[in-house]
Amino acid sequence: MVNVVKPKPDLNLLFKPRGIAIVGASHTEGKIGHTIVANIVSNGYSGGIYPINPRPGVIVGHKAFQSVEGIQADIDLGIISVPARFVKESIEDCGRAGVKFIVIISSGFGEVGKAALERELVTVAHSYGMRILGPNIFGIVYTPFNLNATFGPADIRPGNVGLISQSGALGIALMGKTIVDKLGLSTIVSLGNKSDLNEEELLEYLDKDPNTKVVLIYMEGTKTGRDLIALARDVVKRTPVVVIKSGSSKRGAKAAASHTGSLAGSDRVFESAFEQAGLLRAHTLEEAFNWVRVFATGAIPKGDRILILTDGGGVGVMATDACERHEVELISDYQYLNDVFGGIVPEFGSTKNPIDLTGQRGDDAYLEALEASLKAEKFDGVIALYCENAQSKVVELSGRIIELLARLDNSKPLTFAFIGGKQTQVALDILHENHVAAYDHPDEAVSSMGALMRWMRMTQKPNQPGIALDFNRERVMDIISNARSQGREQLLETEAKSIFEEIGLSVPKSMLARNFEECLDFSDQIGYPIVIKIASPDIIHKTEAGGIRLDLQTRAEVENAYRTMMSNITARYPKARIDGVVVNELVPKGVETIVGSTTDPSFGPVVMFGLGGIYVEVLKDVVFRVAPINHTEARSMVRSIHTFPLLYGARGEKVKDIEAIADALTRISQLICEVPDIAELDINPMTALDQGKGCKVVDARITLTHKESSTHSHQNCDTLIPKESSNRSHKDNESVSERECDAFVQGYLNSLNLQEEGK
Ligand code: ACO
């Protein structure tokens, strides 16, 4: 099959087609092909509508044609809803008629293992200059053009939220939910198997679409994670993007993969990648809808000084607590607060933030205070809480709020929490109808304000260029080629360290001694105290194998340690290839960290950081970033681990050299991007010394990709987390959950078995 360059028809023709052919438009009401035509017609689409069916007649008021090719009209969009075996010929029919975009509703392709057939459809479409949305989707909606080419609900509520859904069933359900929740949509695009058009292209379009203020993406997996990150970094500066990514649990990830045939990458990497790109990840549908609602108001925060206004002390406290959880800063200029609200708040209320009007002051005072808070310069956003009481006229109040906001032409970020009974629900509906971000719980009002604040911070983050890594690539490749020529995919520790030294990391003095005499000689040269480690491509976990001896103070101690190590190891691993021992300078005490990298199926090379020992083994307190990263990201990575206080001088220790860690992380991230032969690496430990003293690569491992693959191998990030060390018993871990313990013990046993097998 000829490889055709991906065509680039104007995406406007997908959302605003001049004519639509519906191939498989059915004469029978209730069939998918019939419902699609009915939805297109009932939503008032004004372009040409052309049902295609082998039988002549009229379908939902429109003449049926036997093929697209014969129709004398500008048809930009072809919707295909015929059984899978007829899809290819239908695409060709559309192609001959000059159609630009194909929406394939039909199932029966990649999601059921027929990936080759799916690729063939794309090739055929491209050969006619067409692009495909789907297959296995429910269609497309664009409300500004009255287009509803789906078999979902007919009565979509117009608005400014763009919804992109990988899941069909959920997408349809979300369409329904937006109607009930009174959330207006500009567009809904179903992506399904993403054979051709994907999130990136659609996001790029919606970012430029004046009718879309916020985008909500439901995603199960992506094969083009790096493209998404690169694009999103720019898009989110203008258009906030909320993402729901399913498949975060191991079981969920499996379900996602079988559902659409897509790859579900490691969830930790997704989490980090979204954060890097400025995508706001919501963990529930409710949360996503709440956030989208506030973004849909179009409010753009200018700062982070937030005010809480309330008519009830209790909800005020709840909201204050929630502010801490959702990183919302409360303004605490008490003089200013008193100046603004002193005349409105009763004596028994409070002019501290939250401003507590109490239930007795009534709706007039509530509105007066709301108006004052929206007008006051120093408040960048307002969270207004309202508890319905016996005197409340909450429905009337909602109307008055809408009038007030219109009169002030308010653009200040504002979220409401209305708490109460039936009347409150009516009031909330009215507020939603009028595009006000109102919720029925203080936490939701705060969480939504928090999302707005996070978005603001992300848009203000300066774009920092990455560092250009200056290293002798040839030397690195020589080391790799040498290992490959010996049939090794695992570099020796000395080789790995040479590479790290080459990219500018600080490696303790180290020499490979091939025999006993060299070992003594090199120990003298390096100077005591020293460390010796076994050098063998077959022994990866050296500590467990008894292949490391630390703090050897004299020549005699070295002599003794060498002889014991060699006799133990040759007895235990008789088949292991032994290259000698590595003689190392002893690194002063510091904090042991771990730096690693792997290749994620969705995002490619990723870098990992955490503290060593139990922090990584038991607590799994590590963070990932998609490589490459710059210094700012590297610093934020260091701060993101839960145990970061241990690096910042906790328990009377000196602050460690954070800058040196960040520098090492940026260099490693560049290395793995520039040398795709590296599948995985870890420096464990990389000892962080006191501030100004740097950090040292104490132990290092680099695994190469399989010889035949020129790109990164696909490894899960969890493989970076080292196995339990042998000197910790199951009992030592009793404070950890039983499941964690079992996993560790199992992991440890597996690692030993592997080594035994490799003997
Ligand atoms: N050209 C034009 N019309 C054709 C052709 C053709 N080559 N072949 C068949 N047709 C007509 C049929 O005659 C029929 O019309 P009629 O009812 O008037 O006789 C119509 O097209 C439909 O064909 P059927 O064989 O009746 O197929 P059916 O409607 O049962 O199913 C469908 C077609 C819906 C595409 C099905 O094969 C399918 O893939 N279903 C799954 C769809 C889906 O769920 N997609 C994912 C959405 S997202 C989610 O998960 C909700």
Residues with CB under 6 A from ligand 1: 23-24, 26-28, 31-33, 52-54, 81-83, 86, 90, 105-108, 136-138, 168-169, 172
| Alpha carbon distance 186, 282 (integer Å) | 20
Q: Which atom of ligand 1 approaches the CA of 138 most closely?
A: 47
The 10 Å CB-count burial string (b at 16+, else e) for 525-548 is ebeeebbbbbbbbebbbbebbbbb
Å from CA of 139 to ligand 1 middle: 13
- Bridge partners (DSSP) listed for residue 549: 532
User: Residue 196 has which token pair?
Assistant: 């051709």
Phi, psi of 52 (to 5 degrees): -115, 125
Q: Which atom of ligand 1 approaches the CA of 168 most closely?
A: 48
**Element counts in the chain: helices (H) and strands (E):** 24, 29
Best probe residue, ligand 1, of 63, 82, 89 (max atoms within 8 Å of C-beta): 82
Q: How many other C-beta atoms lie within 10 A of the C-beta of residue 709?
A: 13
Q: How many other C-beta atoms lie within 10 A of the C-beta of residue 9?
A: 14
Å from CA of 281 to ligand 1 middle: 36
Å from CA of 48 to ligand 1 middle: 21
**Nearest alpha carbon to residue 420 among 397, 398, 392, 400:** 392
User: Residue 414 has which token pair?
Assistant: 């504002």
Q: How many other C-beta atoms lie within 10 A of the C-beta of residue 165?
A: 25
**Longest pairwise C-alpha distance within the chain:** 100
Specify the pLDDT at position 121: 98
Specify the pLDDT at position 249: 54
Specify the pLDDT at position 274: 92
**Residue of the CA atom closest to atom 38 of ligand 1:** 106
Let me know: does 326 contact 446? Beta carbons within 8 Å.
yes
- Number of alpha carbons in the 13 Å side-chain half-sphere of residue 289: 19
Q: With residue 235 as reference, give the H or E element that holds it.
A: helix 225-235
Instruction: Reply yes or no: is the peptide bond before residue 346 cis, omega within 30 of 0.
Output: no
**Residue of the CA atom closest to atom 16 of ligand 1:** 26
| Alpha carbon distance 189, 253 (integer Å) | 23
Å from CA of 180 to ligand 1 middle: 29
**Residue of the CA atom closest to atom 42 of ligand 1:** 106
**Nearest alpha carbon to residue 175 among 194, 188, 162, 158:** 188
Å from CA of 23 to ligand 1 middle: 9
Q: With residue 470 as reference, give the H or E element that holds it.
A: none
Let me know: does 415 contact 294? Beta carbons within 8 Å.
yes
**Residue of the CA atom closest to atom 20 of ligand 1:** 24
What SS3 state is found at 427?
A: helix
Å from CA of 378 to ligand 1 middle: 59
| Alpha carbon distance 463, 466 (integer Å) | 9
Residues 6+ apart with CB under 8 A from 88: 120, 121, 124
Å from CA of 746 to ligand 1 middle: 50
Radius of gyration of the CA atoms of the chain, in A: 31
**Residue of the CA atom closest to atom 23 of ligand 1:** 82
Let me know: does 449 contact 383? Beta carbons within 8 Å.
yes
| Alpha carbon distance 28, 149 (integer Å) | 17
DSSP string, 185-252: EEEEEE-TT-SS--HHHHHHHHHH-TT-SEEEEEES--S-HHHHHHHHHHHTTTS-EEEEE---SHHH
Q: Which atom of ligand 1 approaches the CA of 32 most closely?
A: 34
Specify the pLDDT at position 649: 81
**Residue of the CA atom closest to atom 7 of ligand 1:** 86
Residues 6+ apart with CB under 8 A from 266: 600, 624, 716, 717, 718
Q: Which atom of ligand 1 approaches the CA of 80 most closely?
A: 35
| Alpha carbon distance 135, 121 (integer Å) | 9
C-alpha torsion sign, points 157, 162, 165, 170:
negative
649: Cα separation from own chain's centroid: 31
Q: Averaged in consecutive runs of 10 residues, what is the pLDDT profile of the chain (759 residues)? A: 75 98 97 98 97 97 96 97 98 98 97 95 98 96 98 94 92 91 95 94 97 95 89 94 79 43 58 91 95 95 95 94 96 94 90 90 92 96 93 92 96 96 96 96 98 92 71 94 94 92 93 94 95 90 89 95 94 92 90 90 90 76 89 91 87 89 95 94 93 93 77 42 35 34 37 35
